[in-house]
Structure 1
């Protein structure tokens, strides 16, 4: 039984970690692609609907879009994975608790799934199927 569990951990855990990274990366990357399709509408949404506190709408739109397009690439590659998960977690928290407080339409159980997946990535790291793992192994061998 221990051998079966060991094999499952050896192969299943890295595949699960990769699947988590790919799934959450797709969610945010697709959102970023939507934003760059019509930039004027994106800025207008940040002015009129999202109203992110502390940031001017054009800067919030730029940062949000940059994070949604850049961080998923890092997640897919498994490069600087924990760092890449942080701004996406922050965005999820803002969507759920800041925007959601102002507009109940933004309250969604889906945002909690995103937060849990991103927290799992932060806590457990990217797994063996990542550039982070490969780089760490090269450094420790040197």
Structure 2
């Protein structure tokens, strides 16, 4: 009886090891497919579109029509935002136009590093002077902008088509 029990235990152990090996093989295959599907260019594209949407929608709240700045925007820049060193009217224009132009450039993948750098600068100004307690949001924005500054737009961009980018994949 002892021999039968040991044989059965050995079979169960081998079966368990085979299953673990199968799981490891499956995990490796899935990881490999995901790595190919989520190329650096795909990740940069997602970052470009994600951060572009955030800033573009913010810019749209500041205007009526195409690009007519709302009186409430001037009021916000005069009171709540109140940046040092820059007159509120100028700050309202710069922020509003940057929040429209830079996201469009990011979506196109054109002048990507410059557009991302401008938006990162805006993020720093907002964090330091306007909403310092909103650092988790601003850190998220920076997390999307920094790879674009470091790596450019990736292969799926006008920068790449025009030979302006150096890509990893």
Task: Give the TM-score normalised by structure 2.
Answer: 0.71
1:91 aligns with 2:118: no
Residue pairs, 1:62-141, within 5 angstroms = 62-101=93-132, 104=133, 107-136=134-163
Structure 1 7/108 Cα, relative in aligned 2: closer, same or farther at 3 Å? closer
What's 2:17 paired with?
none
**Mapped partners of 1:96, 1:8: distance in 2:** 34
Give deviations 1:90-117, integer Å, cap 9, x for gaps: 110111122235xx4xx23011110121
Give deviations 1:22-70, integer Å, cap 9, x for gaps: 0000000000000003610000000010011111101000000000000
Moved more, 58-67 or 12-21: 12-21
Give deviations 1:111-130, integer Å, cap 9, x for gaps: 11101211111001110000
State the 1:7 CA deviation. 8.8
What's 2:15 paired with?
none
Q: Normalized per residue, which structure has more helix?
A: 1
Q: Which runs of 5+ in 1 are unaligned?
A: 138-142
**Mapped partners of 1:42, 1:123: distance in 2:** 33
1:61 to 76, 85, 92: 92
Task: Give the TM-score normalised by structure 1.
Answer: 0.84
**Mapped partners of 1:9, 1:89: distance in 2:** 29
What's 1:28 paired with?
55
Q: Which runs of 5+ in 2 are unaligned?
A: 1-27, 165-169
What's 2:76 paired with?
45
